[in-house]
């Protein structure tokens, strides 16, 4: 029976390859990029299990069907994937971590745990496929693939509290900090719309654009790394 470790080992063979938001043929074992995060995770899982996960249509043609972080969220919510938690993801190779898109048409994020507190992820433009941190980042779902056998590594990791994060919420976050973010975005030449101190869709879209052009994971969420690039002191 294939294992979560098999998933991670295959993902590691693509480290340092290029990131582009592109359709990947999941049934091509020789594909070496470019990748985006959801396509990368779906390709790796298909290569090990022969099944599609995280795709717009999991019964579609693996050469043509699109993977999407929102579809990974769907599979986590409806029981297609086996839910677990972040403590398990830290110590168990092959756990898939998912951050949901902030709004329709935008991307969330997907990565595969290496079982040692890190994950393999197609991180973003000019970042490529890399090994990144699990802790200190927002994850909405941690999941196991049903066809795989999982074994914890036995390592221990102390949880790291999340920093303050600006993200799209209902009602929209309204604060002087949002206003500073909006002004900083506008100063870079990226227009967030009205400078009104409200973290709404226009500001989220501007944050995406800024992140993509500044070697950041593009998720529309402002945390310490994005704030630092914007020149904003973070709480």
Nearest residue to 119 via CA among 136, 102, 101, 100: 136
Return d(Cα 114, Cα 172) in angstroms, integer: 35
The pLDDT tens digits of the residues spanning 155-169 come to 777 777 889 999 998
Q: What percent of the chain has pLDDT over 70?
A: 100
DSSP E strands in the chain: the ranges are 82-84, 96-99, 109-113, 118-122, 129-133, 141-144
Mean pLDDT over 103-132 rounds to 93
* CB-CB contact of 108 with 220 (8 Å): no
Its pTM stands at 0.89
* CB-CB contact of 128 with 18 (8 Å): yes
Mean pLDDT over 111-130 rounds to 95
Task: State the virtual CA torsion across 127, 129, 134, 136 in degrees, nearest 10.
Answer: 10
The pLDDT tens digits of the residues spanning 21-30 come to 899 999 999 9
Return d(Cα 50, Cα 106) in angstroms, integer: 28
* CB-CB contact of 113 with 8 (8 Å): yes
DSSP for 107-133 reads --EEEEE-SSSEEEEE--TTT-EEEEE
At residue 225, φ and ψ (nearest 5 deg) are: -70, -45
* CB-CB contact of 91 with 156 (8 Å): yes
Domains along the sequence of the chain with CATH:
4-144 (3.90.1720.10), 176-230 (1.10.101.10)
* CB-CB contact of 100 with 70 (8 Å): yes
The pLDDT tens digits of the residues spanning 187-198 come to 999 999 999 999
Q: What is the pLDDT of residue 186?
A: 95
Confidence of residue 104 (pLDDT cuts 50, 70, 90): confident
CA 180 to chain CA centroid, Å, is 26
Mean pLDDT over 212-233 rounds to 92
Say whether 35 sits in a helix, a strand or coil.
strand
Burial category of 218 from C-beta neighbours within 10 Å (exposed 0-12, middle 13-18, buried 19 and up): buried
The pLDDT tens digits of the residues spanning 51-68 come to 999 999 999 999 999 999
């Amino acid at each position: 029976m294939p294992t979560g470790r098999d998933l991670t080992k295959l993902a590691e063979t693509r480290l340092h390859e290029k990131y582009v938001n592109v359709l990947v043929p999941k049934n091509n074992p020789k594909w070496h990029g470019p990748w985006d995060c959801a396509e990368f995770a779906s390709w790796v899982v298909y290569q090990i299990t022969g099944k599609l996960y995280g795709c717009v249509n999991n019964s579609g043609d693996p050469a043509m069907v699109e993977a999407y972080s929102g579809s990974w969220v769907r599979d986590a919510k409806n029981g297609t994937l086996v839910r677990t938690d972040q403590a398990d993801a830290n110590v168990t190779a092959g756990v898939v971590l998912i951050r949901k898109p902030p709004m329709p048409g935008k991307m969330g994020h997907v990565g595969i745990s290496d079982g040692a507190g890190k994950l393999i992820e197609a991180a973003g433009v000019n970042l490529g496929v890399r090994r990144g941190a699990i802790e200190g980042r927002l994850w909405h779902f941690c999941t196991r693939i049903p066809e795989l056998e999982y074994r914890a590594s036995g390592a221990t990791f102390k949880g790291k509290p999340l920093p303050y994060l600006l993200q799209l919420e209902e009602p929209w976050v309204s604060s002087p900090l949002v206003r500073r973010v909006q002004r900083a975005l506008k100063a870079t030449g990226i227009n967030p719309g009205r400078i009104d101190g409200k973290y709404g869709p226009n500001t989220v879209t501007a944050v995406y654009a800024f992140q993509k052009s500044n070697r950041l994971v593009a998720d529309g969420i402002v945390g310490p790394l994005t704030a630092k690039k914007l020149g904003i002191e973070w709480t």
